[in-house]
Amino acid sequence: MSAPKSDKMVLAGDIGGTKTHLAVFAPGSDVRTPFREKIYTSGHYPSLEALAREFLAAIDAQVEYAGFGVAGPVVAGRAKITNLPWVMDEAQLAEALDLRSVHLLNDLEAIAGAVPTLREADRVVLNRGQAASGGAVAVIAPGTGLGEAFLVWDGARYLAQPSEGGHADFAPSNALEAGMLGRLQRRFGHVSWERVCSGSGLPNIYDFLKTSGQAQEPDWLAEALAAADDPTAVIVRAALDPGRPCRLCQATLKTFVTILGAEAGNLALKVMATGGVYLGGGMPPRIMPALGDGSFMKAFVHKGRMAPLLRQMPVYVITNPKAALWGAARRAMGSSA
């Protein structure tokens, strides 16, 4: 496949601590059909510049613009990846890669940027609702951490906006969660939503429920957790196992879903997300049975006098893992227009 005849090819990337997904697009093309794409192990490279150079050297295309979604806050055109020693700067990247411009954007801002392009096959409905034309859209994404973003309508298109709301103070909604908050405050000091509503936070719920006597930990599960690199995956599998479900893991996942629903409802109210609410990140697609059992929506609408407003908001789970890449590509394509 030869490169399109264009002097404005764009490079897009979804940059994470574990893997980096790069792709090249022709401006104005469908983000679903990149010219070239490849996934790399991030830790094998000393910098994004080194990784991008290798990728660009292997393709026959003249790239002039780039957009990268990064797992961390972007301030004044600079960002650092969580769990990697990469420090990225837009101007330095543009110079090192010989590009006209580079845009760094938070990974949740990138996911939000892809929302207008999503099709029915890219999402699952949790609440059909009734979207208001031009209404704001909220995006909340529990993955390794908890990301939040939103989109606003400027009269012609939706514009994605970043947020670090996942690090705001966790607010319990019942006595059980209040007890967990006290336990976590003694451990961490500040307790954010991310401490209890993310892949890294799920084990905190599990430990609290176990030590407070909510359910017993089976011996087989204790052995599996001790041997696991990722305890969250073990807990989720045990909660959803139809043959041997674990009561403690089921309680953990139910608490997690309730907390996620509550914070999704908080975000929806704060940005007046009458255009819809989207759940992104790695966890929601993995826990669809738990999200669809009613617990999430019950917590989402449990906002007193605002419950009728929340019931009208469409709620979706993003199931396509390329959303962040697509959002970064759309930002880069905007530069090339």
- What is the domain-level CATH number for residue 267? 3.40.367.20
pLDDT, mean over the chain: 94
Domain assignment present for residue 249? The answer is yes
Q: Is 259 strand, coil or helix?
A: helix
Q: Are residues 260 and 297 both part of a single domain?
A: yes
Q: Are residues 228 and 314 both part of a single domain?
A: yes
Domain count, the chain: 2
CA distances for 11 relative to 71, 101, 102, 317, angstroms: 18, 10, 9, 27
CA distance 227 to 220: 11
Q: Are residues 314 and 327 both part of a single domain?
A: no
Domain assignment present for residue 131? The answer is no
Domain assignment present for residue 154? The answer is no
CA distance 84 to 118: 30
Q: What is the pLDDT of residue 83?
A: 73
Both tokens of 309, joined, read: 């407003």
Domain assignment present for residue 159? The answer is no
Q: Are residues 250 and 331 both part of a single domain?
A: no
Mean pLDDT of the 254-271 span: 98
Name the pLDDT band for 68 (thresholds 50, 70, 90): very high
Name the pLDDT band for 107 (thresholds 50, 70, 90): very high
Q: List the domain range (segments joined by +) for residue 269.
A: 166-318
The β-bridge relationship of strands 123-127 and 146-153 is unpaired
CA distance 46 to 21: 16
Domain assignment present for residue 143? The answer is no
Indicate the residue type of 114: A
Place of tokens 């719920």: 205
CA distance 300 to 219: 35
pLDDT single digits (tens) 215-241: 999 999 999 999 999 999 999 999 999
Strands, sheet with 158-163, edge to edge from the N-terminal-most edge strand = 123-127, 315-318, 276-279, 137-142, 146-153, 158-163
Q: What is the pLDDT of residue 258?
A: 98
Q: Are residues 330 and 275 both part of a single domain?
A: no
Both tokens of 62, joined, read: 């003249």
Place of tokens 């940005």: 271
Q: What is the pLDDT of residue 220?
A: 96
Separation of CA 18 from chain center: 14
Q: What is the pLDDT of residue 7?
A: 58
CA distance 207 to 303: 28
Mean pLDDT of the 167-182 span: 97
Q: What is the pLDDT of residue 335?
A: 61
Q: Which of 3-7, 176-180, 259-263 has the lowest mean pLDDT?
A: 3-7
CATH of the domain at 15: 3.30.420.40
Q: Which of 4-13, 14-23, 255-264 has the lowest mean pLDDT?
A: 4-13
Domain assignment present for residue 139? The answer is no
Domain assignment present for residue 122? The answer is no
